[in-house]
Structure formats: C-alpha cells, structure tokens
Amino acid sequence: MVICALIRESKKGNPCLQKKLFLLDLGYYFRHLRINNRSVDILEQEQILLKGLALSDKNSIELIYRDNFSSIQSFVLNNNGSVDDARDIFQEAMIVLYENAGKDSFKLNCQIKTYIYSVCRRLWLKRLQHLGKFNTKLENIEDIIPVESEVEDHEKRNEDFNLMEDAMSKIGEPCKSLLNAYYLQKKNMQELALEFGYTNADNAKTQKYKCLLRLKKIFFAQYKNS
Amino acid sequence: MDDILLLEEVERYLRGEMTKEERTLFETRRKNEAELDQLVVEHTYFLLGLQTYGSIKTFKHSLTEVESKLISEGLIGLSPFNGKAKIVYLWKKYKRNIAVAASIAAFISILASGLMVTVSRKFGNENYRVLVDQINKTNREVNKLKSNRAIEKSAITKPEVDFRATGFLIDRKGYLITNAHVISRMKNIYIENRKGEFFKAEALYSDKEVDLAILKITDTAFKPVSSLPYSIKKENSELGEQFFTLGFPRNEIVYGEGYLSAESGSDGDSSAYQLNVSANPGNSGGPVINGNGEIIGIITAKDSKADGVVYAAKSKNIITLLERLKKSDNQFQVLKTPNKTELKKLDRVHQVKKMEEYVFMVVGN
C-alpha cells in the first residue's frame, strides 16, 4: 500500500489501479468460494483472504470475523473481560494482521485462526497486566506461535498513527480535507481546485503545501515530546 | 515561500517526476547539503507515516462497517454458539455495557416536508409555538411513493402520517420520552428509526402541565438495545452551558448546537429553560445534551417572533415524573433510567454518532 503513495503518477502505470481491478475479481471469487466451500483448499482460501485483507476488502474482513470472533470472545470473557473488550482486542488483532498482510515479506506459517488467537491472547494478557489484573511476567508466556515482535511493532505504529491523527485534528479545515483529498484519496490538483474553490491548480497546490508544512510542524513537535 | 518550493522539489524527487538532469542536480545538492538530505529523509518518513495513517484509517472504517453488520445480525455481542442462557449469565457476571445493537442504516432521502406550524397558546404568550411538524397531503403522497420503493423490509408498512416530531429512549427496552403536545393530536403513534422502519407505539402517560409524555414501543419487531450511553441530569444546568440537540425538523436527523440563555422558560416558567439554538417544527421532544453526555432538557417550543428563542423542559422534570410514576403505577417500575454516560471523553462527532441511535422520529396520524 505504501508504494502507491510515493509513485502516484509514476510512468509504469499505477499499481493502485491494478489492485482495484484485482479487488473486483476477488469479489467474484468470494461468491464462488462460498457456494463451493469444500472445493477450494484451505491454504489457498487463506491466501486469498489475506490478499483481500491487505486491500481492506470487506468480504474478506467479514469472513475472518465470522470464523474467529466467537472464539476470541470466549477467551476474553473467560479471562476477566467484557464483550466490548473482545471487540477492541479483535479489531486490534485485525489491524496487526492487516499491517503484515500488506508486506511482501510476510508469510503466514499457520492458519489465520491460530495467528489471530495468538495475537489476541498476547494483546489481552498485556492489557490485563497493565491493569494489574495479571501478574505473570509476559516473558514467561509462551505464544502458540511467536507474535511478540509483531505485537511490539504494531504498538510502535499505533503510536505514530495516534500522533498523526492528533496532528490532523489540530490543523483544522480546510487543511484537513485538502490533505486528505490529495495524499489519501489521490485527487489531482485540478479536482482539488474545483472542490475547494481555488481559482486554479497552482493556488490549490500552494495551499496544499502550506497545510502540509503545518501538519509536519505539529507532527514532529509531538513526535519529539513523545 | 522558500519552504514550499523546497518541499515541492522534494516531493517531485520522491515521486520520480524529475527529468534526468534535474535528478542528477538534485542528488549532487543532496550530497553537499546536509540539511537538504535530512529534509528528504524526514519527508520520506513523514509521507510514509501519512500513507500508513490513511490506509489504516480506511481499514478501520471497513472494520467498523463489518462489525456493525455483524452486531445487527447478532454474531457479535450475542454469540450464537454459547446459547442464550450462558449469555445472560455472562451479562450478569460482568455487568459491562454491551455494544450498541443498532446498525448504521442506509439513509433514505425523502422530500423535506411542507411546514405547517401547530400553534398553541401557553402561559398567555401568543408567540409560543410548539414544534410538531404537520405534513401536508401532497408531500405525504410523494413520500409514500418514494418509500414504497425504498423500504421493502420495514417492520410494518409505512403508515400515513400527519405529524412528525422527535423522541428518545429513556430505557433500553423501548420506552421513549417526548412532549405531551406531540402526541396530543395523534390517534396512532409510530416510531420511525433511521432505517425507515416503523414500530407501533402507545402512550403510557402524558402530562400537559410539564409537557412530557412517555411512550412504549409495543411492536414485537423492536429489539431492545443493549444500553444507553447517556444519562439524565438531576440537577439544574447553569446559564451559558453549551449543548447540542438532535431532532427531526426534516425527514433526516438534524444536529444543532447552542447555549442555555435563561434559567426559566416562557413567561418565567421555572420548569423550563430558554435556549439559544436553531429549532423548527419537528424538533419537539428532542434531547438537549451537554458536553458530558447528560440530557439536560427536552425541546418543547420556540418563540415565533424572536430569533433563536427556544424553550426546553428541564431534565429534572423527567426524573421527578418518573419517580412519581414508579411509586404510583406498577407498569413503570421496570423502567431503568440511564444514569451512566459513556460520552464524556468523546469528541462531538463521536458523541453524536453514539447518540443518534437512540433518537427517533415520533410520527402519527
């Protein structure tokens, strides 16, 4: 996903566009999968799910929820938590999986079920420990599969995410929408000028950079504090 | 300005938009100027962060959508594998708030209706206008045509409605509060949710003096919600307190915000507040919520001549009324008024998002 950002108008065709096409195919594939559930082998299914997940595809997300949520809920409920806690933890585990599914280097050596369970277990025990409800040292917990480093990476990224969210909320409008439209929705300058009422693309561009400078300033100021 | 030009160059460089010559020149500069090199590194990192932020945000959005779909199906919150008895047990055991069981509905746009204001006199003030929306016949027919096409799976078929106002839940089992004047002219009362589904409701109690009425959704199609995220404030609110409102001056939920402008209502009525907020026919019965997520009042009327002069019954009235009813009437004893707010630390957008699930259209004929 990250690659798309930096080469949004690159010469060799836009990889984001190619992915979109792929996503449409995936939709078809899933209908097919559901009907003939037994005909596609489970590993292949899981690879497809992971690819879908990496593209924020709702069908994939839904299938993973359906397959896994209830066991995570039981785990959390049996360990001092509520349904809301279970939802939180599950969402976070989904984000961990999402972050990794997008990496080329990521290879899942177990079933998604096992992976999610391991991540949720670690996340939940960590939270319990934080609340002082669980006294075993985390180093002594053995994961079903090792996910410790992935959870830690995720926590770092999560901090960055929160910093960015915070900075975004502080720059105000129209900056927020402007940056969002350009950097995240990938609209071009003509579209932006039209949408935000700038007289021409150049004006929109100057505004965009002004906003970006402000965002960076706030982001890095907090970054140094944290 | 220099900063901007520099940043633009860095971005062009990173995106590979420079010509060969420009690129060579830029790279030489980068080698010689430590500051520029640092800027490139920093900006690459920053853009990456921004990108990750964007993609996770999109992903979270998809997650939430899937979640609410599954909540409405009952897969989340009520696990199908554990059986009902166990769930009840778990609820008792943990006593936590279980997720909001309402899904985000696809919004069905219906024409804004022609506004005819019901005028009533209260306390001798002839400018006192209650805010029930009377819907005229033509619009009603248009609505009917549109909704027949749009809503196929409504709990009951869309009834013909003459009046529209607002009401909100005071108990998760389908008890709502609204104004007495809202239902005074309705023979049949319906509650419409944001999905455009109608539920039959009946008035359990109506008190013209304080202008409050309690409704119960009697329709079996209505599923109790798991908990209410707001509380009802027992104390009086202070002059100047900021609040927001939700209501149905249109066929779509409308947000408004304002401040408490006087501690009494029309003609010194001490059971009401005067508010400065925009309100229109249809807003009657809508909650007035402060920043902590406490209901401080319920919109009742406005001054037809003065701008932004709106009256609201104090929330204290709701509490007193309910306490009185609980003592005198068995059917109210099951009522559990919400006393815990989950909205306190949320920003306004999220407060509204949580809140709007519990604010309904009260319609009738």
Condensed to tens digits (0 to 9), the pLDDT of residues A10-56 reads 233 333 333 333 333 344 344 444 434 444 566 677 788 888 888 88
Return d(Cα B113, Cα B40) in angstroms, integer.
57
Q: Tell me, yes or no, whether A124 and A96 share the same domain.
A: yes
Q: Which of B270, B272, B266, B276 is nearest to B242 (CA)?
A: B276
Contact A161 B4 (CB under 8 A): no
Residues 52-111 of A with CB under 8 A from B: 56-58, 61-62, 65-66, 69-70, 73-74, 77, 81-85, 87, 91, 94-95, 98-99, 102
Q: Tell me, yes or no, whether A215 and A134 share the same domain.
A: no
Return d(Cα B99, Cα B77) in angstroms, integer.
6
Residue range B128-148: average pLDDT? Answer: 54
Tell whether the model's pLDDT for residue B147 goes beyond 50.
no
Chain A hits for B44, CB-CB cut-off 8 Å, are: 6
**Tell me, what amino acid is at B317?**
N
- Nearest CB among A8, A83, A95 relative to B77 is that of A83
**Domain final position from A126, A160, A194:** A160
User: Phi and psi of A27, rounded to 5°?
Assistant: -55, -45
Q: Which of B295, B319, B286 is nearest to B231 (CA)?
A: B295
H helix or E strand, kind and range, residue A174: none
- Structure confidence by residue, pLDDT tens digits, A142-194: 666 778 888 888 888 888 898 888 888 888 888 888 888 888 888 888 888 88
- Structure confidence by residue, pLDDT tens digits, B30-60: 888 888 888 888 888 888 888 889 889 889 9
CATH code matching the domain that covers B116-364, chosen among 2.40.10.120, 2.60.120.200, 3.40.50.720, 3.40.50.150? 2.40.10.120
**A55: closest chain B residue by CA:** B59
Tell whether the model's pLDDT for residue B178 goes beyond 90.
yes
**Domain with A21 in it:** 14-160
* Least Cα separation, residue A210 to chain B (angstroms): 7
Please indicate, yes or no, if residue A3 is contained in any of the structural domains: no
Return d(Cα A179, Cα B119) in angstroms, integer.
49
**Domain final position from A111, A138, A160:** A160
Q: Which of A177, A146, A162 is nearest to A219 (CA)?
A: A162
Q: Tell me, yes or no, whether A45 and A111 share the same domain.
A: yes
Q: Tell me, yes or no, whether A96 and A176 share the same domain.
A: no
- Structure confidence by residue, pLDDT tens digits, B52-101: 898 898 899 889 888 888 888 777 765 434 433 332 222 222 223 333 33
| Other CB atoms within 10 A of residue A109 CB | 7
* Least Cα separation, residue A88 to chain B (angstroms): 11
**Domain final position from A160, A187, A210:** A160
Return d(Cα B116, Cα B299) in angstroms, integer.
18
- Nearest CB among B51, B61, B67 relative to A2 is that of B51
Please indicate, yes or no, if residue A114 is contained in any of the structural domains: yes
Domain map (residue ranges) of chain B: 2-72, 116-364
Q: For chain A, what is the domain count?
A: 2
* Least Cα separation, residue B50 to chain A (angstroms): 7
Per-residue pLDDT, B128: 66
Contact A58 B82 (CB under 8 A): no
Alpha-carbon distances, residue A139 vs A149, B18, B32 (angstroms): 12, 50, 47
Chain A hits for B65, CB-CB cut-off 8 Å, are: 58
Contact B75 A83 (CB under 8 A): no
Per-residue pLDDT, B215: 93
Contact B56 A99 (CB under 8 A): yes
Please indicate, yes or no, if residue A4 is contained in any of the structural domains: no
Per-residue pLDDT, B161: 78
